[in-house]
Chains A and B, each alone.
Chain A
Amino acid sequence: MTRVVLITGVSRYLGGRLASVLSADSSIERIIGVDVVPPRQDVGRTEFVRADIRNPIIAKVIASAHVDTVVHMSVIATPFGAGGRTAMKEINVIGTMQLLAACQKAPSLQKLVVKSTSAVYGSSSRDPALFTEGMEPRAQFRSGYGKDSTEVEGYVRGLGRRRPDVDVSLLRFANFIGPRIDTPLTRYFSLPVVPRVFGFDPRVQFIHEDDGIEVLRRAVVGDHRGTFNVAGSGVLLVSQAIRRAGRPAIQVPSPAVSVVGSLFRRAGLVDFSPEQMQFLQFGRGVDVTRLHEDFGYRPAYTTVQAFDDFVAGRGLTKYIDPDQLAEVERRLLGQMERRRPINA
């Protein structure tokens, strides 16, 4: 079986890394990377095609190269880089529609891997502790990444129905974290003082960038039909994560949250979309049993380890240094002991 893999969003961090990982795999004949800007990082032997997936040109690329595996990774999470929410929605939804239309027409296509997100489960007070793949979001989305991803998944399922011969892997990733990746959450935890919503301490889950790439690689080379939640085991509370990063936190009462959020957005520090706010209020957890058992992969990093690796890898200054604290504790205990008569 000849393997020609097409990756959309190859110039973005994860797309580029996947391309370079797949380059090392000799069983793959050709790798074609598609994006609107050329990749900045090393993508190995990937052939770069400058194309917009919103343009029918993508169909020609797929047909002429006899692509058999499409990895769709260009659903973007924030309007920050895209130039506004309208453009973001355009790229996400219209782009996916065009890509899938091209896929449906391509007889050579055998496999479709879609990088989706656990944001499709939303985030609300009525959420179960952990979402399994079969569950629906409890609150309606108004806009944003979650809504886009839900729509994208809808189109992907539609393709799965119309082309039952195509293996569709839908991977719902938790928030990516790691020493190199740049996401709204990594920026959030890198702030010198981290604001959090007063009276709410949401649970968050992370997937380490290396684990995420490995899951995508396995989805490309292996046979993993179906929908899978992808996250490191365990959860972290936002307050706990801020403490592990050694940062001070300030609590912002929820009515003021949107004001503070837009201030941060305008300052270009962190992109706080309303959806992000909701997430920082209620959090989210996903069940990864299916990933462990059916997909057959156990992420090397748990949520906590992934976060610690991010803190260590970024070299974030810990304002509250655990070693210093331990030293203070030891000194206090020592003093207490010295004050006590030995023959007491």
Chain B
Amino acid sequence: MPEARVIPIEGRDAADLPRRGRKAARCTALAADGERCRSKAVADGLCGEHLEEQERAVSRAAAPDWERKVAGALAFMRRRLTGEYDVDDFGFDADLTENVMLSTLRPLYDKYFRVEARGLENIPNEGGALVVANHSGTIPLDAMMTQVAIYDHHPAHRHLRMLGADLVFRTPVVGELARKTGTTLASNEDAERLLTSGELAGVWPEGFKGIGKPFSERYRLQRFGRGGFVSAALRSGVPIIPCSIVGAEEIYPVVGNIKVLARLLGLPYMPVTPFFPLLGPLGLIPLPSKWIIEFGEPIPTNELGSGAADDPMLVFNLTDQVREVIQQTLYKLLLSRRSVFF
């Protein structure tokens, strides 16, 4: 809550007043230039102009919550209309992400999926780190929920900068929104640029193999790409934070894949769920599963040295290690889960 500007009612030092004589009582407030106001006092030792300002300040301090929200929304709208906001080199628009994207996803996070975020203390408060997570759920809601978890519940309120496939950036609207909300291309160049500039990056190395896998293979990790994320972390010397997401597999149980249609539309898969396309748009509503996002202990990479990234065996082993940690955590979380929906 912003502090209201307090305008002294009795003057900065009350002893000042009598000395000056009451007949020519001057306004005791400070003018904009820091000098004393030169106007005559009307009431309470203030001139008409400052009295009004004081009243406004008092009432602003007492402004109900909704009014402050309206004021915030107005300011946001003005910034959007005039383009007065900052976008970083990756196209990340923090203003839009905080005010629109995160507040839209928040009800989904809190009320719908009732996400429980564990192990947030494993994410450093500052400096580069790479969050590596399992991917599932047909559409990347798991990535968005992880973003909300870290921004809302981590003490440093960090933005998770995600790495996405080039299909994302080829797709209209999706690509635009992805860039603005902090996603950039999953390539070594971008990953290293993010990590060396001290950002918290997130990667879902299973990619389309993970997110589009059938329901029967749920919680079974797919191949972790080519380990590019490990070499990026090694080159930048940042820790890898394994992240296991439980619950996202059940939002759209994929039972089939219309390959012909997928090929026609240039998509990696065209999912069939028990409700989609059978129920049409209704089938697009995700099932309200209960989610757990657990961040594991960071795996340090800085002691391996900068040459480690060029040792393919080491990269493979580290990739396997990260994958194994996530898989084991998934099994553990699944065992402790009471039911899919509660």
Give the interface of A toward B (CB within 8 A).
125-130, 132, 135, 197-201, 203, 234-237, 239-244, 246, 253-254, 282, 285, 320, 322, 325-326, 329, 332-333, 336-337, 340, 342, 344
A330 CA / B81 CA spacing, docked (Å): 15
20 further A-B contacts with Cβ under 8 Å, apart from A234-B88, A237-B91, A336-B71, are A125-B175, A127-B185, A129-B91, A129-B184, A129-B189, A129-B193, A130-B193, A198-B172, A199-B176, A203-B179, A235-B91, A242-B83, A246-B82, A282-B169, A320-B82, A325-B82, A329-B74, A333-B74, A336-B70, A337-B63
Q: Does B257 contact A (CB under 8 A)?
A: no
Stretch in contact with the other chain, from B5-13, B23-31, B52-60, B227-235: B52-60
Question: In the bound complex, do residue B63 and residue A200 qualify as a contact, i.e. CB atoms below 8 Å apart?
Answer: no
Q: Does B90 contact A (CB under 8 A)?
A: yes
Please name 12 pairs of A and B residues whose Cβ atoms are closer than 8 Å in the assembled complex, sorted by A: A125-B169, A129-B91, A130-B89, A203-B87, A239-B83, A244-B82, A254-B172, A320-B81, A325-B82, A333-B74, A340-B64, A344-B62
Question: In the bound complex, do residue A342 and residue B58 qualify as a contact, i.e. CB atoms below 8 Å apart?
Answer: yes
Q: A199-B172, A199-B175, A285-B89 are in contact. Are A243 and B80 (CB under 8 A)?
A: yes
Count of inter-chain pairs, beta carbons less than 8 A: 112
Report A85 CB to chain B, min CB distance, Å: 27
Question: In the bound complex, do residue A342 and residue B55 qualify as a contact, i.e. CB atoms below 8 Å apart?
Answer: yes
User: Which residues on the A side are within 8 Å of B58 (C-beta)?
Assistant: 342
A129 CA / B201 CA spacing, docked (Å): 14
Residue of A125, A129, A336, A344 contacting most chain B CB atoms (<10 Å)? A129
Q: Does B297 contact A (CB under 8 A)?
A: no
A135 CA / B32 CA spacing, docked (Å): 54
Q: A235-B87, A235-B91, A285-B89 are in contact. Are A337 and B59 (CB under 8 A)?
A: yes
Give the interface of B toward A (CB within 8 A).
55-56, 58-60, 62-64, 67, 70-71, 74-75, 78, 80-91, 93, 166-167, 169-176, 179-180, 184-185, 187, 189-190, 193
A286 CA / B75 CA spacing, docked (Å): 32
Question: In the bound complex, do residue A322 and residue B75 qualify as a contact, i.e. CB atoms below 8 Å apart?
Answer: no
Report A201 CB to chain B, min CB distance, Å: 4
Question: In the bound complex, do residue A241 and residue B83 qualify as a contact, i.e. CB atoms below 8 Å apart?
Answer: yes
Chain B facing A: main interface SS: helix
User: Which residue of A237, A322, A344 contacts B84 across the interface (Cβ within 8 Å)?
Assistant: A322
Question: In the bound complex, do residue A201 and residue B180 qualify as a contact, i.e. CB atoms below 8 Å apart?
Answer: yes
CB closest chain-B residue, reference A282: B169
CB closest chain-B residue, reference A307: B83
User: Which residues on the B side are within 8 Å of A126 (C-beta)?
Assistant: 166, 169, 185, 187
Report B231 CB to chain A, min CB distance, Å: 15
User: Which residues on the B side are within 8 Å of A125 (C-beta)?
Assistant: 166-167, 169-170, 175, 185
Question: In the bound complex, do residue B176 and residue A200 qualify as a contact, i.e. CB atoms below 8 Å apart?
Answer: yes
Question: In the bound complex, do residue B85 and residue A240 qualify as a contact, i.e. CB atoms below 8 Å apart?
Answer: yes
Question: In the bound complex, do residue A244 and residue B172 qualify as a contact, i.e. CB atoms below 8 Å apart?
Answer: no
User: Which residues on the B side are within 8 Å of A242 (C-beta)?
Assistant: 83
CB closest chain-A residue, reference B173: A199
Q: A125-B169, A325-B82 are in contact. Are A240 and B89 (CB under 8 A)?
A: no
CB closest chain-A residue, reference B63: A340
Report A247 CB to chain B, min CB distance, Å: 10
A135 CA / B166 CA spacing, docked (Å): 18
User: Which residues on the A side are within 8 Å of B187 (C-beta)?
Assistant: 126, 128
Question: In the bound complex, do residue B169 and residue A236 qualify as a contact, i.e. CB atoms below 8 Å apart?
Answer: no
A297 CA / B75 CA spacing, docked (Å): 37
A200 CA / B172 CA spacing, docked (Å): 6
CB closest chain-A residue, reference B58: A342
A201 CA / B90 CA spacing, docked (Å): 12
Q: A125-B169, A201-B176, A340-B63 are in contact. Are A235 and B78 (CB under 8 A)?
A: no
Report B88 CB to chain A, min CB distance, Å: 8
CB closest chain-B residue, reference A244: B83
CB closest chain-B residue, reference A135: B189
User: Which residues on the A side are within 8 Å of B62 (C-beta)?
Assistant: 344
A342 CA / B75 CA spacing, docked (Å): 23
User: Which residue of B60, B81, B89, B176 contacts A325 across the interface (Cβ within 8 Å)?
Assistant: B81
Report A140 CB to chain B, min CB distance, Å: 15
CB closest chain-A residue, reference B71: A333
Question: In the bound complex, do residue B71 and residue A129 qualify as a contact, i.e. CB atoms below 8 Å apart?
Answer: no
User: Which residues on the B side are within 8 Å of A203 (C-beta)?
Assistant: 87, 89, 91, 179
User: Which residues on the A side are within 8 Å of B82 (C-beta)?
Assistant: 243-244, 246, 320, 322, 325
A254 CA / B176 CA spacing, docked (Å): 14
A196 CA / B189 CA spacing, docked (Å): 28
User: Which residues on the B side are within 8 Å of A336 (C-beta)?
Assistant: 67, 70-71
Q: Kindly list the 5 A-B residue pairs having the minimum CB-CB distance in the complex, ordered from nearest.
A: A199-B172, A243-B83, A244-B83, A128-B189, A199-B173
